[in-house]
Amino acid sequence: MLMASSYPEVLSHFEDKHVVTIATGATCAYLGDERNLREFLVADEAVRWLRRIGHTALFLLIDDSMDPLNFRQLRVAVNKDEALIEKYKDCCGKPISRLTDPWGCHESYAAHFEEELMDRLHRLDCHPTLITTAKLYERGVYKPYVRTALERYDEILEFLRTRFQGYEPEKLFWVLCPQCGYIHETDIEYIKDGNVCVYCHACEHSQLIPIDEIEGKLNWKLDCAARWALFKIDAEPFNKSYLEPQSGSFVVAQALSQEFFGGHPVLPLLYGVVKMEKQFGGQLLSSLPSTVFRSLLVERPASDAKISKELMITTASRYVVMPGVSFLDFIKQLLPMWLVTPETLTPDQRELVAHGISFSRYFLDTEVRLQLPTPEQFEGEQIAVLNLIHVLLNRVLPLRQRTDLTWEQFQEKVKAIIDSLGSHKGPALHRLRLIVGQEQGLPAARFLYMLPMNYLQLLESILKLYLQCAQHTARNNQDESEDDDSNGARHLRVA
């Protein structure tokens, strides 16, 4: 079976095709965790690769909004809210597009979760065009395909039995009961003279419906076959469970599309299964910057992935979130200081802080706390060393205030300042690293460039006060010593 397991293979396959349409499918009955995002991101990444070399590439996300709601989906969708479960449990079996929004903010149940999914994808810089199949059925767009499926019902079944031995679908078309609105309990009794006799087990209603007036949906494989032909889909992501070459969903849908709907071959984009430790479900998006999360799922798309604490920490250590600083370095070395001055952070920096706090909590098992400089951090150090640190800060702060310096220019000037500190340079930098929590962290010039300005100003002020107090204490001790010496001499003279 021809398939693409890498982005270069996609480019090679569509080398001579100017316009390429890639589609993905979903049933927006609930939002779910992050595992199901891989399909959409792999499709989007393939679209990016195609556009990068000049193709016109379209990305469609098709919601199967005529699918019936089931109880498991309902529980997940309403986060096990007992009141909402009780209210909607009798709606299970009806199309999600025909149900009201549980929270009353969208035109339907399906529309609510379509927007939630699209918002989630947009945060990952993934922007597909949403198509909801319920609208297509309502507007008659699917009518030619429904008519073909119903008029050639027995022929299609025989084709499937012959071509895919052992495979026989439960239904080719799911009829929406005109009496009770359920779609999962209906059966087609027979088709004759352009009419369909339908029986609903839910309400025990039987009715003869003209083919052109019948409501419902094609089964999933026929629906895929129809939309591939309708939208001229060129590629769609599938994991290997759908690509079994004898009677897998893909090969069945492909055969139906070409045999009955005039479709053309569709290239499957292979993506690996994502497995995840249960406790991390719902935490990845809050814990990783969008670029890092995206890279985690789109790199090596055909490989299976197991989301574990070890993988997350490795991923955080690999991806750079600012020049010379990995996400893990940021969390361990800069984040505590950034929390000191939240009012100075840009929106992007605030978002990075939020991700860092969440990552530290869920994957490092540590709560990030403010790390304010304190006088205790200066205890035991030579005054000469602390004076050099103060000199260094006094000379660095004006450089930080300049807006005309690039990082390279700042680095060059700070290195010159550090070199001028003389023989105490090593002890001064060592103590400064201890104070700001950079014992094994970034180079000195780098952290002096990246620590918040207010934090450095606060450190300089505290250190200045500490040195003044130390000098005052030293003078007092010297005065007391001189008084003791004077009193001792006086006693000797008296004696």
**Which pLDDT score is estimated for 485?**
56
Tell me, yes or no, whether 349 and 387 share the same domain: no
Q: Are residues 114 and 257 located together in one domain of the fold?
A: yes
Does 150 reside within a domain?
Answer: yes
> For the chain, which ranges sit under pLDDT 70?
370-371, 440-441, 479-495
Domain count for the chain, please give it: 3
231 & 129 share domain:
yes
Does residue 487 fall inside a structural domain?
no
pTM, 2 dp: 0.82
- Give the separation between CA 143 and CA 438, rounded to whole angstroms: 67
User: Would you say residue 210 lies in a domain?
Assistant: no
The one-letter code for the residue type at 63 is: D
**Parent domain of 341:** 296-363
> What digits encode the pLDDT tens for the residues 114-162?
999 999 999 999 999 999 999 999 999 999 999 999 999 999 999 999 9
pLDDT at residue 93, rounded to an integer: 97
351 plus 419 within the same structural domain = no
Residue where a domain terminates, one of 238, 271, 304: 271
pLDDT of 257 reads 97
Q: Are residues 24 and 149 in the same domain?
A: yes
Residues 232 and 106 in one domain: yes
**Tell me, what CATH number does 42's domain have?**
3.40.50.620
pLDDT of residue 124: 96
Same structural domain, 359 and 394? no
Pair (422, 300) in one structural domain: no
